[in-house]
Amino acid sequence: MKIISLVLSFFITIGVLAQQTPDPTHPVLRQALRSIDSFRIAERKIDAQSGFPLGLHTAEKSKRSYDFYIQLDRRIRSIPASELNFTDEINAELLLYSFEDEISEYRFKSYLNPILSEGGFHTQVAGMANQLIRTRKDAEELLKRYADLPRYMEEHFQLMREGLQLGIAQPVDVVKSFSNTYEVYIVSSPEQSAFWKPFAKRPTAISEEEWQVIQQDAKRSIMDRVVTAYRAVKTFFETEYLPKAPKTPGVSHFPDGLKFYQDRVAHFTTTDLGYDSIYSIGLSEVKRIHTAMMAVKDKVGFKGTLQEFIQSLRTDPRFYPKSGEELLKEASYIAKKIDGKLPQLFGRLPRQPYGVEPVPEAIAPTYTAGRYSPAPINSNRAGHYWVNLYNLPSRTMYTLEALTLHEAVPGHHLQMSLTQELENLPAFRRNLYVNAFGEGWGLYAESLGYEIGLYKDPYSEFGQLTYDMWRACRLVIDVGVHAKGWSRQQAVDYLANNTALSLHEVNTEVNRYIAWPGQALAYKMGELKIKELRKRTQAALGEKFDVRKFHDLLLSEGTLTLRLMDKLIDKYIESNK
């Protein structure tokens, strides 16, 4: 299910491919990049000729992508390994990785299922509300896109109707809590709409008289087109989709469901491991972390069972913020404290700053506790560490250090910003996100808190273990739901019994795993590989090992598959012995 939504807009597998600097050495790879650029330009022309500013979203479009990328995939795989230097070996493997979503989307018809638990096609276009208007033309183009929303929605409804007929759809338990993703856009006046934001303040380049006309057009468009489009979304989900949605979770019920799941396992872990092997790794990690949790429980003198200790954490008010402001301030303080420690771990730090902001209200109810929202390196805004203020009694303060390390620094902000700044890489690699690398790095970053003096409180230490256990549980739950017939309640119970996550988070997380098969496996599999590589490097280099150089090296090639990480470290060890 290839979804590029409002909140996932940075995780683009095939992004800016034009103006590659520098080009790969091998002529087939250079030609491949030019072909991709030409193909995307041709697709934009088809969209433009359709007269629909929001583009076409059809099975035919997915088929064109499939035909193009499958041919390109075969061409790159035909290059003899002996012809590729290490840099072009990386380029080739990452290009093949970037094709996988396009190929699998059509092969397994996942384009018929364009939603996740947090949103989908209808929340993606809400990003238009953040557009900056500078000229009259900007305003006119934006209003054309607003006007196209009803057609855009209907085109997706048609795809999803076919998906329902084939059994390729999200289950009832995910969709029944979906209303917040569209209700927020159904307003009674244009000024209440998020889509009014670009028209609220007059740009200096537009006269007052012109601006009044533009604002009147915007008000009509918001009420007649935007609100109408979201009312149609509400009607579709509540009268068509929900009554026909599958009752059981898991893609094993899809046509070729287990093949599709194994395809997603391979994509998100970048390994050739079967899902049963990953399930076993998960069980082993759960057992290891359980022992560490018991040690912390005993350290604080709690006499009951681990589950009773977890329950006490969930119900003790001292572990929860009294206000959203308190939560944001504490997250900001932790982030700034970590900033001051980064030179201990890295020789190279990103130029781009980041801020701390609340998760947007429209998506907060079904959203995770926090996430990183990146910004293009050449834009006029910083990256942002989002903290979820919805349902404050579910926001645990003892996990805030681990969350900040993962989402801000030295996790996603540091890794993504450095990748964008790597001028020695082709542009497609600066705009690529391999989940096993990025999420593995984020989870590894949580463990670095011990090295810079965080987690001095045993409860925050337990919070870090809870986050580690959470990712270990994902290996078990994801495979359980999608390949072993687990019910949603089984997954909820497993996560609730093994972690100190709030029950609200437990439920939103399980919905996420159900809706996005395989993605949850990336974190722990990537982290285990990074820790293995660090241990291997330390053992090989002994006193010559420098953690700053190790981290700088690991981030020096941008995002990588686990196989490429292995090879990068092996070459480093060999050259430094």
**Strands 119-120 vs 115-116: parallel, antiparallel or unpaired:** antiparallel
For residue 547, is it within any domain? no
pLDDT > 80? residue 327: yes
Using DSSP, state whether 372 is helix, strand or coil.
strand
pLDDT at 365: 87
Identify whether residues 227 and 280 lie together within a single domain. no
pLDDT > 60? residue 396: yes
Nearest to 30 by CA among 419, 563, 428, 424: 428
Tokens matching residue 449: 């808190």
How many CB atoms lie under 10 A from the CB of residue 201?
8
pLDDT at 2: 54
H or E element: which one contains 385?
strand 383-387
First to last CA, the chain: 44
In the block, tokens 């273990």 appear at 465
Identify whether residues 317 and 244 lie together within a single domain. no
For residue 569, is it within any domain? no
H or E element: which one contains 370?
strand 370-373
For residue 314, is it within any domain? yes
Q: What's the Cα-to-Cα distance from 158 to each of 44, 152, 234, 242, 495, rounded to whole Å? A: 22, 10, 15, 15, 36
Torsion of CA 500, 115, 106, 146, to 10 degrees: -140
How many CB atoms lie under 10 A from the CB of residue 283?
13
For residue 537, is it within any domain? no
Confidence of residue 15 (pLDDT cuts 50, 70, 90): very low
- Number of domains the chain is built from: 2
**What are 511-531's pLDDT values in tens digits?**
999 999 999 999 999 999 999
Nearest to 39 by CA among 20, 15, 64, 57: 64
**CA distance linking residue 502 with residue 496, whole number of Å:** 8
Identify whether residues 294 and 240 lie together within a single domain. no
The whole domain housing 145 covers 6-249
**CA distance linking residue 244 with residue 169, whole number of Å:** 9
For residue 10, is it within any domain? yes
pLDDT at 5: 36
Identify whether residues 309 and 172 lie together within a single domain. no
Identify whether residues 193 and 109 lie together within a single domain. yes
For residue 575, is it within any domain? no
Which residue among 202, 226, 249 closes a domain? 249
Which residue among 202, 222, 249 closes a domain? 249
Identify whether residues 375 and 400 lie together within a single domain. yes
DSSP 194: G
**What are 430-487's pLDDT values in tens digits?**
999 999 999 999 999 999 999 999 998 999 999 999 999 999 999 999 999 999 999 9
pLDDT at 1: 54
pLDDT at 379: 83
Identify whether residues 238 and 277 lie together within a single domain. no
**What are 212-260's pLDDT values in tens digits?**
999 999 999 999 999 999 999 999 999 999 999 999 999 999 999 999 9
Identify whether residues 147 and 172 lie together within a single domain. yes
Using DSSP, state whether 533 is helix, strand or coil.
helix
Identify whether residues 370 and 502 lie together within a single domain. yes
Confidence of residue 412 (pLDDT cuts 50, 70, 90): very high
**What are 131-140's pLDDT values in tens digits?**
899 999 999 9
Identify whether residues 192 and 279 lie together within a single domain. no
537, 550 Cβ separation under 8 angstroms: yes
pLDDT > 60? residue 344: yes
Which residue among 490, 507, 525 closes a domain? 525
Using DSSP, state whether 532 is helix, strand or coil.
helix
**What are 161-206's pLDDT values in tens digits?**
999 999 999 999 999 988 989 999 999 999 999 999 999 999 999 9
Identify whether residues 242 and 385 lie together within a single domain. no
Identify whether residues 225 and 302 lie together within a single domain. no
For residue 565, is it within any domain? no
Q: Which CB contacts under 8 angstroms, 24+ apart, belong to 291-300?
A: 292/465, 293/462, 293/465, 293/466, 293/469, 296/458, 296/461, 296/462, 296/465, 297/462, 299/458, 300/458, 300/459
For residue 307, is it within any domain? yes
